[in-house]
């Protein structure tokens, strides 16, 4: 949708959008790529993503995981689902309003059809989540923690709670009664509200109190007995008759709403007359908080009369309302984890990332890279060698420039400190800060200011293209001429996620790669993208084409009766052109092994079509984020790339992405070993069946947990 018109930022009314844009045949960002493959070969992206989140829920359900890690997976499941509705379902609603007839390009479902199935699936997931939370809550007392309801309290605790509510809670609440002089309030996304049906004589009114507060604790400790708590929203809900003492409280419930957060900038952002890009992004971030409601969750006992009022005021349909037996916001599980931190057996064994043996932290990192390509495998390897490289470059008198693309940095980033120091010492520092990293915009905006103040040249990306690449270039200039050091990664320059996500970082002094990286940055500075590369694969112009060409080569080999192979590891597989080529390759006899953590729109094992394809997914302690693409059956001759890009249409055609070949033999063998180990996992790996469902790989002995193996080695 034309977001700026919708929000009224300096343009005409939203009603005009439908008049100015023709209704597309397929959904925004998708391309039709005709295929004669049966529909059974394809899966809907959104429903496939829900299967991924189901795998997260299964980790919370798994008694083989430490108890506090199960709490984490339960919380991640909910936060994933929140973001899914805020972004993906929000986008479906926008597109449905704009062009109801458009269809997605794999299963050809309309937006409305997708939303209906999504809501039905989420009802089932909600029931599983409630069952899980009941089990976890029943186990909590054995670990010294109990979340109480008012009926569980003894008389002393009830007296304490009454006094606590009157003295500490009530003064901070702002109760409302909806009427002519108090219109329906703005409800904030992800906040919990107590909603009441009030009666006085023949008059019925709605009362609303916000329960989410930065001042009040979410968990209130009961006096006299360690480990007994009550949730703040339950306390407020119990004592609301004290607030509305002139009314009869006919019914009461707790509600939590999710708002649409789909603010992908559109063409108006690139209109010079609209002003500074950063200022527009700041305005969009503010306005995101005001977008339309997309999902409402209520307590299981919620009165239908209250829900009828809420549907009317919020403009929701019944299918967008979900009931929950468990607390509406599971973020309090993090507090419980903190309370149990001293019980080591309830957590994964602690792990500290190591500095690889081939790095000498007492010697020049740049000199070591010049001797031989260097490789980091997060979170098993420490990020320190990369930080040392930046710090060394910042003070090296021969280094004349540092260039880097940034996407989602931490609030106290150690990556940016050497960039600022280098700029302040007179070096040329160019930083492309992608301000459109969803939900990290405010942090990235603040860092862009600090970098500018330090004298760095700051770019904000390209018109209509997100810069998602993980590319860093250090340039030296001395009596011997110009010399490049290049780093390409699969994950963000983020110290926090480098301890939570599996990612790769390659550092090389290959001068041909350095020259290509320099060309990428030159084009970015001009607001352009490279058209062709010899070594690097760079989206949007020469990544998908290269991948398709390499798959075509494997198809030719297979048709000649020679061994042919493609192996891929990625977060998501959704690009229709690549999916169709994989199907063609399977039919030709190419062996294909895919590790797809999240959404996968290809279905394996369809007789005569995808029966040469196996698709696996690993959900474990660390988020599998690295991307690997392997072409060729002979390990000695394989072409191996690591990349910032998933095989998704948005990565192939709407983002600047970079993939780099692995030329160093030791690094190639290491990545091949990583890939084979992941495919050998028989503990956390699930395999996709021909009906699109995922099942655990049959447990065999010895047990192989790939992530644990990587920790040990």
560: buried, middle or exposed (CB in 10 Å: 19+, 13-18, 0-12)?
A: exposed
Q: Which conformational region is residue 499 in: left (phi greater than 0), alpha (psi within -120 to 50 degrees), or beta?
A: alpha
Neighbours of 303 (CB within 10 A): 17
Structure tokens at 217: 């604790």
Q: Residue 422 is encoded by which pair of tokens?
A: 């280098």
Cα angle value 435/438/439 (rounded, 5°): 105
Cα distance between residue 561 and residue 704, in whole Å? 34
What phi and psi values does residue 239 have, to the nearest 5 degrees?
-95, 10
DSSP-assigned beta bridge partners for residue 403: 430, 473
Tell me the three state secondary structure of residue 262.
coil
In the 3-class helix/strand/coil scheme, how is 363-405 assigned residue by residue?
CCHHHHHHHCCEEEEECCECCHHHHHHHHHHHHCCCEEEEEEE
Structural contact between residues 646 and 570, judged by C-beta atoms closer than 8 angstroms: yes
C-alpha 193/C-alpha 236 separation (Å) is 10
State both tokens at 341.
């931190």
Q: Which of 468, 534, 699, 713 is catalytic?
A: 468
Residue recorded with tokens 């409601």: 293
Query: Can you tell me the distance from the alpha carbon of 373 to that of 354, in angstroms, rounded to the nearest whole number?
Result: 18
The H-or-E segment that residue 556 falls in is helix 544-559
Number of C-beta neighbours around residue 414 at 10 A: 16
Phi/psi zone of residue 24: left (φ > 0), alpha (ψ -120 to 50 degrees), beta? beta
CA distance 80 to 196: 29
Q: What is the DSSP string of 18-49?
A: HHHSPPPSB-TT-------S-GGGB--HHHHH
Q: Could you tell me if 480 and 370 are in contact, meaning their C-beta atoms sit under 8 angstroms apart?
A: no
User: What is the SS3 assignment for 119-158?
Assistant: HHHHHHHHHHHHHHHHHHHHHHHHHCCEECCHHHCCHHHH
Structure tokens at 247: 């009314």
Q: Within 13 Å of residue 514, how many CA atoms lie on the same side as its CB?
A: 19
In the chain, how many H helices and how many E strands? 21, 27
- In this structure, the chain runs to a length of 713
What's the CA gap between 102 and 1, in Å, rounded? 13
Rg of the chain in Å (alpha carbons): 27
Residue showing tokens 């509705």: 85
506: three-class secondary structure by DSSP: strand
DSSP state of 168: I
Token pair, residue 104, equals 């997605």
Is 468 an annotated catalytic residue? yes
Structure tokens at 163: 């006094």
Q: Which are the catalytic amino acids?
A: 468
């Amino acid at each position: 949708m034309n977001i700026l018109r919708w929000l009224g930022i300096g343009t005409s009314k939203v009603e005009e959008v439908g008049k100015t844009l023709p209704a597309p045949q397929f959904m925004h960002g998708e391309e039709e790529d005709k295929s004669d493959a049966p529909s059974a070969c394809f899966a809907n992206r959104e429903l496939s993503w829900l299967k991924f989140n189901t795998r997260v829920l299964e980790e919370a359900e798994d008694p083989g995981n430490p108890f506090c890690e199960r709490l984490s997976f339960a919380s991640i499941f909910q936060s994933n689902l929140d973001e899914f509705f805020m972004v993906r379902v929000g986008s479906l609603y926008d597109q449905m309003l704009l062009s109801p007839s458009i269809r997605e390009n794999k299963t050809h479902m309309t937006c409305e059809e997708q939303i209906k199935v999504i809501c039905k699936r989420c009802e089932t997931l909600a029931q599983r989540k409630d069952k899980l939370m009941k089990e976890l809550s029943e186990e909590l007392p054995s670990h010294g923690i109990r979340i109480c309801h008012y009926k569980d309290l003894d008389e002393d605790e009830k007296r304490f709670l009454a006094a606590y509510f009157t003295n500490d809670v009530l003064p901070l609440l702002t109760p409302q009664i909806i009427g002519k002089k108090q219109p329906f309030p703005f409800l904030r996304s992800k906040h919990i509200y107590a909603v009441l049906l009030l009666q006085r004589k023949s008059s019925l009114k709605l009362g609303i109190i916000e329960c989410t507060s930065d001042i009040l604790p979410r968990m209130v400790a009961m006096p006299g007995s360690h480990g007994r708590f009550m949730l703040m929203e339950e306390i407020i809900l119990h004592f609301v008759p004290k607030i509305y003492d002139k009314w009869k409280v006919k019914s009461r419930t707790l509600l939590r709403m999710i708002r649409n957060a789909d603010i992908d900038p559109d063409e108006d952002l690139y209109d010079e007359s609209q002003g500074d890009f950063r200022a527009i992004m700041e305005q969009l971030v503010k306005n995101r908080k005001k977008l339309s409601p997309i999902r409402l969750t209520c307590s299981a006992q919620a009165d239908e009369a209250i829900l009828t009022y809420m549907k009317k005021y919020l403009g929701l349909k019944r299918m967008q309302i979900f009931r929950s037996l468990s607390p509406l916001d599971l973020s309090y599980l993090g507090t419980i984890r903190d309370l149990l931190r001293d019980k080591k057996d309830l957590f994964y064994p602690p792990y500290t990332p190591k500095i690889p043996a081939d790095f000498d932290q007492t010697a020049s990192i740049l000199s070591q890279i010049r001797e031989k390509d260097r490789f980091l495998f997060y979170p098993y390897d420490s990020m320190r060698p990369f930080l040392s490289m930046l710090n060394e470059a910042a003070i090296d008198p021969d280094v004349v420039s540092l260039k880097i693309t940034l996407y989602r940095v931490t609030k106290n980033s150690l990556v940016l400190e050497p960039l600022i120091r280098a700029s302040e010492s007179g070096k040329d520092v160019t930083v492309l800060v992608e301000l459109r990293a969803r939900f990290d915009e405010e942090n990235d905006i603040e860092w862009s200011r600090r970098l500018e103040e330090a004298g760095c040249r700051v770019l904000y990306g390209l018109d209509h293209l997100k810069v998602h690449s993980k590319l860093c270039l250090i340039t030296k200039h001395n009596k011997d001429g110009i010399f490049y050091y290049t780093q390409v990664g699969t994950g963000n320059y983020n110290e926090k996620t480098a301890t939570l996500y599996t990612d790769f970082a390659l550092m090389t002094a290959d001068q041909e790669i350095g020259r290509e990286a320099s060309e990428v940055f030159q084009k970015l500075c001009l607001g352009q993208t490279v058209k062709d590369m010899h070594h690097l694969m760079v989206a949007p112009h020469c990544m998908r084409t290269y991948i398709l060409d390499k798959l075509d080569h494997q198809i030719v080999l297979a048709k000649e009766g020679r061994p042919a192979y493609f192996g891929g590891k990625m977060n998501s597989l959704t690009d229709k052109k690549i999916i169709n080529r994989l199907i063609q390759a399977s039919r030709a006899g190419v062996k294909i092994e895919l590790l797809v953590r999240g959404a996968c729109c290809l279905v394996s094992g369809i007789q005569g079509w995808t029966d040469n394809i196996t698709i696996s997914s690993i959900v474990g302690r660390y988020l599998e984020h690295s991307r690997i693409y392997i072409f060729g059956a002979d390990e000695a001759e394989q072409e191996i790339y690591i990349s910032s890009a998933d095989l998704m249409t948005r990565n192939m055609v709407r983002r600047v992405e970079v993939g780099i070949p692995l030329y160093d033999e030791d690094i190639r063998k290491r990545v091949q070993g990583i890939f084979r180990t992941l495919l050998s996992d028989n503990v956390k790996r699930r395999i996709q069946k021909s009906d699109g469902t995922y099942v655990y790989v049959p447990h065999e002995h010895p047990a192989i947990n790939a992530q644990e193996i990587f920790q040990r080695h």
